[in-house]
Amino acid sequence: MRSQPSNVGLDGVTHGIVHCHRCPRLRAWCSTVAKVRVKRFQDQEYWGKPVPGFGDSNARLLVVGLAPAAHGGNRTGRVFTGDSSGDWLYEALHRYGFSSQPESVSRGDGLRLTDCYVTAVARCAPPDNRPRPAELTNCRPHLVAELECLKKLRVVITLGRIAHEGYLKAAGWWASLPPRQRPDTRHAAVSTLSDGTYLIASYHPSRQNTNTGRLTREMWHSVFRTARGLMAGEGSSG
């Protein structure tokens, strides 16, 4: 269902994301957060701009989140970097051989992803972590452009319902599939799309889920173990 590869490449897509001004409310919010800051990060210069995806251009695994955190990606300039959700994500990616290190703290920390690309359906940190539907629509072309560049994807992990639906819309599946045939959103559910892509739904590793026990480490690791197994042609075992 993915369209033809983009002529601009991921570098061009990244440039377009960083310089995007499609959502005035979000740009104003991110800029304000970057100026005011919080006490623990008062001595740091915030990124304060839209946050592009990050990883291997030849990736077979794609991880899709919701949006940068106000004091995470909006501060560091790298997706899932500098907050607790990122701690969970990169620990799992490292455990299953996709990341060179288990922590992602800054753009200059030397972390490298292998066979994996991490992105989000919204590129600006939204107030209360709730982007508006129109803002998600405005941002969707960025994910579409990334998908056009990532030609080797085999497995996609979506983190939360909004990311799940956002990926399906960007990839063209949402409009082409009747509601009853759209991929399952239950945690760890695996769906096979007609082009052979495996889609794995997961809870988002937000504090709301991890601190309450709704998402445990074993539940979380099982998602990446399944992804690694599917990539190796071994089903969901591993």
pLDDT in tens, 88-115: 999 999 999 999 999 999 999 999 999 9
Mean pLDDT of 152-164: 98
| Structure tokens belonging to residue 119 | 């992105």
175: in domain: yes
Contacts of 12 (CB under 8 A, 6+ apart): 6
Number of domains in the chain: 1
Distance from C-alpha of 191 to C-alpha of 199, rounded to nearest angstrom: 5
134, HSE (Cβ side, Cα atoms, 13 Å): 5
Range with lowest mean pLDDT among 1-10, 90-99, 134-143, 153-162: 1-10
223, HSE (Cβ side, Cα atoms, 13 Å): 30
Contacts of 13 (CB under 8 A, 6+ apart): 6, 52, 53, 142, 145, 146, 149
pLDDT at 234: 54
7 falls in which pLDDT band (50, 70, 90)? low
| Helix boundaries (H) for 132-216 | 133-149, 161-171, 173-176, 207-210
- Bridge partners for 118 per DSSP: 54, 63
133: in domain: yes
159: in domain: yes
For all residues of the chain together, what is the average pLDDT?
94
14: in domain: yes
For the chain, list the strands marked E by DSSP. 54-55, 61-65, 116-120, 155-159, 190-192, 198-202
Distance from C-alpha of 108 to C-alpha of 120, rounded to nearest angstrom: 20
Among 64, 197, 171, 57, CA closest to 115: 57
3 falls in which pLDDT band (50, 70, 90)? very low
Range with lowest mean pLDDT among 2-11, 48-57, 215-224: 2-11
4: in domain: no
Distance from C-alpha of 204 to C-alpha of 75, rounded to nearest angstrom: 20
CATH assignment of the domain containing 85: 3.40.470.10
| Residue 158 structural domain | 9-231
Tens of pLDDT, residues 61-95: 999 999 999 999 999 999 999 999 999 999 999 99
103, HSE (Cβ side, Cα atoms, 13 Å): 7
User: 220 vs 55, 205, 238, CA distance in Å?
Assistant: 20, 8, 14
90: in domain: yes
Q: Is the pLDDT of residue 190 over 90?
A: yes
238: in domain: no
140: in domain: yes
Distance from C-alpha of 182 to C-alpha of 123, rounded to nearest angstrom: 25
**Contact call for residues 146 and 10 (beta carbons, < 8 A):** yes
pLDDT at 236: 44
Distance from C-alpha of 229 to C-alpha of 237, rounded to nearest angstrom: 6
**Contact call for residues 60 and 153 (beta carbons, < 8 A):** yes
pLDDT top residue among 173 and 238: 173
pLDDT at 233: 84
pLDDT at 45: 96
